[in-house]
Structure 1
Amino acid sequence: MAATGVLPFIRGVDLSGNDFKGGYFPEHVKSMTSLRWLKLNRTGLCYLPEELASLQKLEHLSVSHNSLTTLHGELSSLPCLRAIVARANNLKNSGVPDDIFQLDDLSVLDLSYNLLSEIPRELENAKNMLVLNLSHNSIENIPNQLFINLTDLLYLDLSDNKLESLPPQMRRLVHLQTLILNNNPLMHAQLRQLPAMTALQTLHLRNTQRTQSNLPTSLEGLSTLSDVQLSCNDLTRVPECLYTLSSLRRLNLSSNQISELSLCIDQWTQLESLNLSRNQLTSLPSAICKLTKLKKLYLNSNKLDFDGIPSGIGKLASLEEFMAANNNLELIPESLCRCGKLKKLVLNKNRLVTLPEAVHFLTNLEILDVRENPSLVMPPKPVDKTSEFYNIDFSLQNQLRLAGASPAVVAAAAGASGARDPVARKMRLRRRKDSSQDDQAKQVLKGMSDVAEEKNKNPQVSAVRIGSDLKTRRWDQGLEKPHLNYSEFFTEDVGQIPGLTVWHIENFIPTMIDEAFHGKFYEADCYIVLKTSLDENGSFNWQIFYWIGQEATMDKKACAAIHAVNLRNFLGAQCRTIREEMGDESEEFSTVFDNYISYIEGGTASGFYTVEETQYITRLFRCYNKSNIKLESVPLKASSLDPRLIGHSLNGCLGVLFWGGWGNKRLG
């Protein structure tokens, strides 16, 4: 391949999954001098190969899921390097070189799932940093100077560390859009920096010891905040600051100690998903009926009864999922059955006696779970109105009686009808039956003779299949399935071990991702999720989902749907492949990841080739010095035009415009 001269023109290469242990790294990589991105994930690397020094145009380097203990080497000599992804290694602080933070273009750094005990030194010098992920380490504190220069950060993930406080300089992160601090003992953090982060869209504070006293009093300035995660904390009521978030779309307050909701929840006019499971709620306020855009309402494991659900809940016209398992419900309001878009109704582990008859009119209902309600009697299905005519007596006597005829006339009609000869009637029926059988026999003989004549005329007609199955089969079982080989997409052990398996679509092909990244979805990617379990008979049960990112390209969307069906065919499963969209995941899908789903900006490149148009910058130059004309760049605005000079030159796209001043002389 090197002899063909192709290597210098390669822009990107993925060597993930190869075994480069013991220094067996391909030396031809150093000939790829135009390489822009390089992936070396899961290759067994213990150190960075020296061939990287030749890749002077490299912008993106991914070395995740290896055995790296150090990043020392040639990284600092790569002037164009923008992204370093080294998650899931064995990196300690001593293995992170200080000089990589002097790279001018470094904007993405992922050191999650490592052994860091503190923030890397000199990290504050990476002034162009946009994405910083240091989650799943053992970091105990953040130095105050870190966020003095990192003011352009858009994404910050510090979850699953040992942080007890946050530096006040975090208020400088005015461009931050995503802040994830889950699973940190932030007992001393008052989060007074939050109101200054006016661009914040996603805020996750799961299991951070939040109470009413250590949250800001108001978040009114966060006009774009739409996703808040406050589950697994010590909240006894909904924090007042949340009521000021008018753009809120997703709110998770599950696993707290909340006993009541305020009437102020009607401020959440854009709310689509509300999770209040595992709290102490005994009733819902009537104001919840004003959340007309609400699609998902989760109330599992509370103390709700029939009186605790407002009668006007039927006004939630967009409601698709209502889950109130493990409560004290004896009945549900009939108005709940007026939510015509309801797809999932989960009421198991309650005290239900019956359900409204209107539940039969929920035409979109896909799941109705009423298990473990021992006293439940399902309402009868409404009978078709045509059955009302079955019990009408159409006899002559009854019709005469209804018409007011005299008893003598009614008796005469009864006598006339009773004077029939039963023996003669039997003979007539027998003759009719015999004649019909003769007619049928004649028709059969005629049909057989016609078939024989037609067969003699056309001997090429294929014979009728004689050994056809007598057992009635489903229509899809009769289809002949093509013999396809799925081994290049899925390995033999897929679906044979209980658990969770996730693939993401990359270059048209599903690629399995590590268990540590389950539940973390890139907005521009698509994923396939397989949940394998065993039933009571020891047989495998499969659930297949395909998740579509909001920014995903068309090829990824199509491949996710196609390969989800391929996976089902590969397993021989009878289940459906379920489509899940970003921000609109079902509770069933969320349960697969223990209700912990996070979104990450970005994704892999599209499988299609893209052509980028050359961007031309418009510049303005002034011309002076008549004897030896010189050009000087000036700001592109009208005030820069000086008529005393020879002229001004405007360069834009592929053309040049010249503006002459008083000192200009016509050029021959």
Structure 2
Amino acid sequence: MAPKKASSASPLVKNEYPLRLYRVFPTTIGIHLETVACVAESLDPRHVFLLDDGKDIYVWQGSKAKKTLTTKTRLYAEKMNKDERKNSAEIHTLVQGKENNDWPQFWAALGLEEGEEEDLEIEEHVDHKFVPVVPRLYQVGLGMGYLELPQVDVPEGKLIQKLLSTKNVYILDCFCDVFVWIGRKSTRLVRAAALKLSQELLKMIVRPEHAVTTLVKEGTEPQVFKTKFNGWTDVIDVDFTRTAESVRKTGANLKDWAAKQETKVDLSALFTPRQQPMTLEEAQQCMDEWNDDLDSMDAFVLEGKKFVKLPENELGHFYSSECYVFLCRYWVPGDPPEDEKEEETEPEDDFQCVVYFWQGRQASNMGWLTFTFSLQKKFETLFGDKLEVVRMHQQQEAVKFMAHFKRKFVIHTGRRRQEKQPVKMEEEPQEVNAKAVKPKFKPKQRPEPVPEEPQKPQPELFHMRSNGSPLFTRCIQIRPNAASLNSEFCYILKVPFGQDDDSGIVYVWLGEKSDEEEGRLAEEVAQEMYDPEKYSLQVCFPFFFDDLADDDTMILDDGNQVFLWLGSKASDVEIKLALKSAQVYVQNLRVKQPELPRKLLCTFKGKESKKFSRCFHGWGEFKTTRE
């Protein structure tokens, strides 16, 4: 009689109980189960074995094995029966050399026919120096057109349950067993890739014939999988020698409490190489993927004591003294079909709602309290366990949240400018007839309110910068100061005219060493921030005195004077055209800015005045070449 196989069609095991034989080893945290060939020749008198036959679980104790190990294996089998088989399996304990009615079924499960067990000699064949293979945990990911399988860093070499994130898929390689763990919130593409990678990983090195890949879903992990992790157990430790007051102060586990009292410093981060920044192409791919999963996004802002709908024209603009709430609904792919025959049917899709709470740097915590006691309760009633709340502070935003604004993330200083409601004037009493009764008292006259003097609009300076990744590109308002300019970045400056802030100029200043893509983005943001009918847009490039070529003519406007600079080798035609252009430019400024009249001044190369040279950074002597 041939022994049973785990699976005749595919080495991938899915939600079934194949015939498996495990050799049991004692460990400091419990027991370790090593998969061996499911034949009678695998038995060893010095060890304890566990035979899993679905509805029957056998615990076999060798004649030289310790009884304490048998007891631990029996408890393990009972927990397996309770959690995985719903108490439908039957547990049998067999001791080598002692007769039992369960022996015939045990030998039959190992592939022996009736009577063959009498000629079987169980010998010591396991090396006493045998050490179980250390499991390796890999995370499955999708890169730029390829699959990634990085090994997860395990602290102190001990696997713990916290290493498994519900948004990811992992492969646990235990040499004889390869487990594919699928998180609940993982994507469909990563799941399919993990199944293919596990098959390739199984064939990559020489393994025993009984090696198999097992599919494990989050929340339904088998006991064999849990034993690979340190502390993954549902058993509650109880110490009857301690009082309730002691447990309340230090917790149930004294060892964990004592470990927390020791101050440890991890300096490994100081010596690791600096992480390479994400390229624009990779950032664009991440933005596209996250925005494809986004079904809808509703934005709210705190006004007074309640959250109201945020106007669409303010989406992407944040104020440091305000609080915002964004309700995002994401598409979640359905689970892949468990049966190969069901691959033609499409899995049912699901959704997840994430609420992002954004709090400005100058905003108080009252906005967060208002949200938790009002808007959050409404969302929890509507979406239940599908709701996730993420609280963020200014310039500490989540990367997925930043991706929804496509690098156009503007942070203003202060509060929003809300449209003032018109004041309702009291109606004057209508004229009445002479018979009307006169009032017995004279109402007090209210003092007329003193009108507030309108504040003069101030210039606004915004600094655009990305930290570590193009996804974290922000345009933040800073104090308007020339010392804040840096040649590595781009800036937006609004200069208003008059008292009503209805006209002015917007300058986009591009640093000499700034990124070209950021310069283009800064120009787009400036065009969207300010009305082009009220503000004229000018893109400023940094200039130096070396730009003054001999055969050119230049026009320089410093705000007070307009200079016409003439090169030593400029042609007469070019000089005449430049002079006419400068005159037209000055006349145009007199019409648009009558409060700032300019004078037209002329200067030659090598004879520049102090008024002209101070407009250049690092003015020096011109370079001359010998002819």
TM-score bracket, shorter-length normalisation: under 0.3
Structure with the larger strand share: 2
Bigger relative contact order (CA 8 A; separation at least 6)? 2
TM (norm. structure 1) is 0.21
